[in-house]
Amino acid sequence: MKIKTSITLSDDVLKAVDTFSKPGSNRSEFIESAVRRFIEHLKRERRNAEDLKIINRRAKKLNNEATNVLDYQVLP
């Protein structure tokens, strides 16, 4: 379902929308697509930040395990 809304954009942003819109499409389609992509970008950044927290929280244990494995390697 689409809901009609009103937004205010700077002149330069509106000109860029018009410049990069596909021929035959309208501003609403372009802006909706751009917002959807930006939301996906934000979600990905949030997931990456959460993953980094988990890795950092477990870094000492992971590093110890890696050191133990390297200690068992036999060098020629």
- With contact defined as beta carbons under 8 Å apart, do 27 and 13 qualify? no
d(CA 42, CA 65): 33
d(CA 34, CA 41): 11
- With contact defined as beta carbons under 8 Å apart, do 26 and 16 qualify? no
Q: Is the pLDDT of residue 35 over 80?
A: yes
Q: What is the pLDDT of residue 53?
A: 96
- In a domain, residue 49? The reply is yes
- In a domain, residue 47? The reply is yes
- In a domain, residue 66? The reply is yes
Q: What is the pLDDT of residue 72?
A: 82
- In a domain, residue 35? The reply is yes
Q: Is the pLDDT of residue 60 over 90?
A: yes
Domain hosting 65: range is 11-72
Percent of the chain at pLDDT exceeding 70:
96
Q: Is the pLDDT of residue 55 over 90?
A: yes
